[in-house]
Amino acid sequence: MTREIVRTEGLACSYRVGRVLEEISITVAAGDYVGIVGPNGSGKSTLVQALMGLCTISAGSASLFGVPCGRFTQWGRIGYLPQSLRLLNPVFPATVAEAVGLGLLSLKRFPRRLSRQDREKVAATLELLGVHDLRDKLIGELSGGQQQRALLARALVNDPELLILDEPTAALDPETRERFYHLIADLNRSRGVTVLLVTHDAGAIGGHATKMLYLDKRVIFYGSFDEFCRSDDMSTIFGSHSQHLMCHRH
């Protein structure tokens, strides 16, 4: 039996400007790697925020691990990297290691203290993302790319079963970007981590995604990666150049 990690039924979300998402009905199974694409303002970030309980669902429903989002509490099973780092306080008085440690602490009951095992886990995660040498720097002192990797470390430190990444490589240089995509693909393949990846990076999704979601306020396409590549509608809407970049599977 395939486990259902995410399900939405007729999901709609509104801001003051009105509805920005409508009639979203999708299911994501354990082990899927879903590439989420669509024009600017098509509701990609709103969709993942709705799943994370960060915006109000105005119609329909969503569930995580079989639990309705409103009642979901097991946030440690999810690693989330939001699109905008703007919320990050530049004088946030924490070092990289402390910020990643907070990812573990926030799930503990009182007394909240990191064990030796926890500290080893933090170190290993920093190592994995190549930011171990930055461990004692303040988050606010890092470059955009370094901050991104530190925050990804925080998203990964709990060994999440579901990883939600919203345009995670925007601030990364090409080489780090490549390493980053390999890392995510490896987590997906060897550890079975379910991945939702919002990105404009056509080549990168092509290498790894098993499913594609094309949003434009509604679901324009949701299906397997191969169906996406065979879809004439998608060539028309998405542009045959981008489709080729993805489907060529570099």
Residues that bind ligand ADP (CB under 6 A): 15-17, 20, 38, 40-46
Q: Which is nearer to Mg ion, 45 or 146 (CB)?
A: 45
- Name residue 169's amino acid: T
Find which of Mg ion, ligand ADP, none residue 92 binds, CB within 5 to 8 Å per kind. Answer: none
Neighbour-count burial of 80, counting CB atoms closer than 10 A to its CB (0-12 exposed, 13-18 middle, 19+ buried): buried
Query: Shortest gap between Cβ of 84 and Mg ion (angstroms)?
Result: 8
Q: Which is nearer to ligand ADP, 23 or 178 (CB)?
A: 23
CB atoms within 10 A of CB 240: 12
Query: Shortest gap between Cβ of 137 and ligand ADP (angstroms)?
Result: 30
Query: Shortest gap between Cβ of 109 and Mg ion (angstroms)?
Result: 34
Closest CA to 185 of 77, 31, 79, 75: 31
Query: Shortest gap between Cβ of 197 and ligand ADP (angstroms)?
Result: 13
Q: Which is nearer to Mg ion, 82 or 206 (CB)?
A: 82
Q: Which is nearer to ligand ADP, 38 or 160 (CB)?
A: 38
| DSSP-based helix, strand, coil % in the chain, nearest 5 | 40, 25, 30
Find which of ligand ADP, Mg ion, none residue 242 binds, CB within 5 to 8 Å per kind. Answer: none
Spell out the residues 6+ positions from residue 163 whose beta carbon is closer than 8 angstroms to its own.
78, 79, 80, 155, 156, 184, 187, 193, 194, 195, 196
Binding residues for Mg ion, rule: CB under 5 A, are 44-45, 83
- Name residue 249's amino acid: R
